[in-house]
Structure formats: C-alpha cells, structure tokens
Amino acid sequence: MSQLLIVGAGPAGALAAYLAAKVGVSVTLIERHETFDREFRGEVLMPSALRVFDDVGLTDAWARVPQQAIDAVELFWRTKGIRKFRFRGPSSISQPALLEMLVEEAAQYPGFTLVRGEGVRDVIVENDRVAGVVTEEREHRASFVIGADGRFSTVRRKAGMTVTSPQQAFDVVWCRVPSDGTNSARAYLGGGHMTLAIPAHGNMLQVGWVIKKGAYGDLKKQGFEAWVHELAAQIDPPFRAHLLAHTEAMESRAVLSVVCDAVDDPVRPGLLLIGDASHAMSPIGAQGINVALRDAVVVANHLFRALAAGAPPEKLDAAARAAHEERRPEIRKIQKIQQRAPRMIFGPRILTWLTYIGFRTRLADVILRLTAGSFATGVTDVSYDPGPSKPPSVPI
C-alpha cells in the first residue's frame, strides 16, 4: 500500500507525483490511458509555470521538452492591427512530451509507481474517510488520495462533491496548421467573433475560433468550406491566404466546450482535488496548465511534507485544507478576470464599441499589461519549499 494515491497523470497529477516521490513519499499515480497522446489539451505555459520547473529542480529536464517561445501579443480589430506589445516568456509545449518527462523524472525515485491504462471507477470510503479507489482491475488503498483526473473528474463525482459552474458564453474550435513564421500570438476581435493564432511547437500554428456556446452544430451543418470562409473573413489578408492554403490541415479540429468552474469544497477527509478536477479554467489567458502546476507545488509544500513526516490522518487533512486555502485566492481572481473578455466580444453592441474605442487609447496598454501580468506571473506568490527537514530522497 502506498502512502499517496494520485488519480490522473495530467500536468497536476504528474508534477504532484514527482514532488511526492522526491521527498520520499511512496506514491502511486493512476492514469486511465496507456500513453500521453490522449485528447488534445492546452499547450501554452506562462512564465509562472516555467518558473515552477526551475524551482523544483527540473530546469534541464524541462529544456528537453519540445517548445516554441512566444515573443509578443498582437491585437486586431477585425482585419486591422491595432496594438502589439512585447510579452516575452510564454512558451508553447508538447503536453505529451511534458508529461512523459515528469513521469520519467519521478521514476528515478524508489517510491514512485505509475499505473497506466486503469480508469478509476469509484472511491473507497471507510469510517467517513476516503481510503482508496477502485479501478476496472482492482482496489488501490493509501493514507491519502489526490483527485487530479481533470474537468470530468470521476473522483469528484463519486465523492459527492458539488461544483459551481457559471454559464459560459462561448466554445473554441481548435485546429493546427503549419507555421506562417510569426512568433507573436494574435487575437482578432470584433463583429461578434474572436480568432486566435498561437505559435506552437513543431513549427506549427494553433488556431482557435471562438464561437457562441453551442454554435458548433450549426457550423457543422453549414459544411467545412463555408466554415473556413467564414473564419477567413475575420482575419488579415496575409494570414487569410496562409489558412486558405492549408485548409486540409484544418480538417482535423477539436471543439473545446468552455467551462470555468470551481468545486465548492475540494477537501474531504483523506481526499483533495487539484487542477481541473477542482477548478476548470476558461481558455482566456491560457491558464489551465499553469494553475494546475502551481496547485501541485502548493500541495507538495503542505501535504507531502506531512506525509513524509508520517503525520496522522487529521494532520494530513489539515495540510490538505491549508493547501486549498492558499490556492483559492489565485483561482478566484484569475477566473474573475477570465469572465470579462467574453462580455466584450459577445456582450451588447454598445459594449463591443466601447471596447473598440478603449483599445485605441493609451489606457488600453495599461489595462492589457495589468491583465497580462496576472496571467503571466500569477496572482499569488507560489514557490517550492523543500523544507528544512527534507527526508533523504536519493535517486536510484
């Protein structure tokens, strides 16, 4: 029996497992997929997340993950460029390669076990305390369970946790085309639309078309050609020509049904939720992976040190509660900022026009820099604290 069970090897679960193993906690990480080439997930990391890798001793390992730096952000109003500002720091990464790197690094420590290809079906509750999980294959038990199984978390559902999920106005249709050689992230606003173009690793461009919630069915009915031409009409001529030259690449696309939610209380005796399982983020500002990684660091500071020190159950629960309390202000603040942008795009026409006028003034620079600052560096100070009494954690 491990001291710690983590369900879900996404960014939150994989980093948490690495950090637990690093301080000498015996940890089992359970992932339902056999490989990390699972459904498409986010790829943009902000400086706040990049700092995490330095902080936790993964600078060299991180450098091996395929990535593409993003140098600037450009704003367009319909097809005309209106603002460009340098924004050094974000990077687009290959998420499967990132996760593979994290589990490889964790595997250097003797206490780490990765179980691939087992989906968790239920949680085991004994004496009002979560004592493990049940997969299709067997039971796994531990002193503490972390649910990091993403936005449709089974652990959350089976533990009976409730979620507050404000209605979102939009969804995003993502596709990838070859790079057009630009290293800026671009956002095309106006006319009730928003299109995003983000430089991606592997010399690619990630294109996102922001559509009204639920409108994807109508788009599909219109047919692919009509869809591409409607998208192309929203962007500047050089980018339009580039997309039209690569329409075959756009055929493989993924729809992100946008959710921005938070579990009312992600702590139960013996259980804590982190990452999307605890709070799915809106895609505005590319925050999902960043906050998931930062969750793992804070949980390591509180809970893994307690586990490594052999703390009794009530101390573990108190450590989990402290981790949640530390993360809550950042999650709330970022989600609040994320809710503003859709109002400017899909809100009443007057608001859209005020936004346009605002974008043309110097005030826009100040607001955009403040917003970008929260997205880039985070809202609270999160740093990894290995602690004075770090137990020996000798790699094999």
Under the rule (CB under 6 A), what is the footprint of ligand FAD?
7-13, 30-33, 38, 40-44, 119-120, 148-150, 154, 174, 254, 256, 275-277, 281, 283, 286-290, 292
- Give me the least distance between CB of 43 and ligand FAD, in Å please: 5
Nearer to ligand FAD, 74 or 171 (CB): 171
> Which residue, 23 or 293, has its beta carbon nearer to ligand FAD?
293
The nearer residue to ligand FAD, 74 or 149, going by C-beta atoms, is 149
Report the nearest approach of ligand FAD to the CB of residue 186 (Å): 14
Phi, psi of 391 (to 5 degrees): -70, 160
Distance of closest approach, residue 276 Cβ to ligand FAD, in angstroms: 4
* Token pair in block for residue 226: 């009509």
Residue 129 and residue 122: Cα distance in Å, rounded?
14
Shortest gap between Cβ of 63 and ligand FAD (angstroms)? 19
Provide the terminal-to-terminal Cα distance of the chain, rounded to the nearest Å. Answer: 20
Closer by beta carbon to ligand FAD, 24 or else 302: 302
Task: Name the minimum Å distance from CB 148 to ligand FAD.
Answer: 5
Closest CA to 316 of 110, 113, 84, 144: 144
- In the complex, the smallest distance separating the C-beta of residue 315 from ligand FAD, rounded to whole angstroms, is 25
Return the number of the residue (13 or 24) whose C-beta is nearest ligand FAD. 13
Using the minimum distance from each CB to ligand FAD, give the nearer residue, 24 or 142: 142
Shortest spacing between CB 244 and ligand FAD, in angstroms: 23
Q: How far is the CB of 359 from ligand FAD (least distance, A)?
A: 23
d(CA 380, CA 391): 28
CB 61 within 8 A of CB 219: no
Phi, psi of 206 (to 5 degrees): -95, 120
* Alpha carbons 288 and 43: distance in angstroms, whole number: 9
DSSP string, 19-80: HHHHTT--EEEEESSSSS--S----EE-HHHHHHHHHTT-HHHHHTS-EEE--EEEEEETTE
Residue 193 makes CB contacts below 8 A (sequence gap 6+) with 209, 210, 211, 234, 345
Q: Which is nearer to ligand FAD, 139 or 365 (CB)?
A: 139
Select 154 or 374, whichever has its Cβ closest to ligand FAD: 154
Count of CB atoms situated within 10 Å of the CB of 367: 13
The strand pairing partners of 115, in sequence order, are: 30
CB 158 within 8 A of CB 123: yes
